[in-house]
Amino acid sequence: MSDYLFRNHKNQPRKASTTTMKDAVYELLNNYKIKNKYDEAHIIQVWGDLMGEEVACRTEWVYIKNHTIFIKISSPPLRTELLMRKTNILDRINHNLGEEKLQEIVFR
């Protein structure tokens, strides 16, 4: 076995010019102009986690277009309840993203 693994290595402090992995990924997404698609995919993926299993089971599809999220709910009573909590849901989604990405929710 190599003695490289057993050498004493001192942790060097990070240089000021280095960036975190998170910042590097966001910079990459911005440079390739795919951050919006990434955010949309993230919202669609976490919809069930944000709203709970009952809502996720009754959600037929979710898509985003022009800062508006369109959600097809199969249960009319649930759709009515979600319409009443529309601003709360919008705030939860935008909070999860960390920015004001969405401006409107449409339930169908």
pLDDT tens for each residue of 76-97: 999 999 999 999 999 999 999 8
* pTM recorded for the entire structure: 0.73
Give the domain 20-107 fold. Answer: GMP Synthetase; Chain A, domain 3 (3.30.300)
Q: Is the pLDDT confidence value at 74 over 70?
A: yes
What pLDDT sits at residue 1?
A: 52
Q: Confidence band (pLDDT; 50, 70, 90) for 9?
A: low
Amino acid letter, residue 15: K
Q: What is the pLDDT of residues 17-61, one digit of tens each?
A: 788 898 899 899 989 999 888 888 999 899 999 999 999 999 999
**C-alpha distances in angstroms, 79 versus 18, 24, 72, 76, 82?**
48, 40, 9, 5, 5
pLDDT band at 98 (very low <50, low <70, confident <90, very high): confident
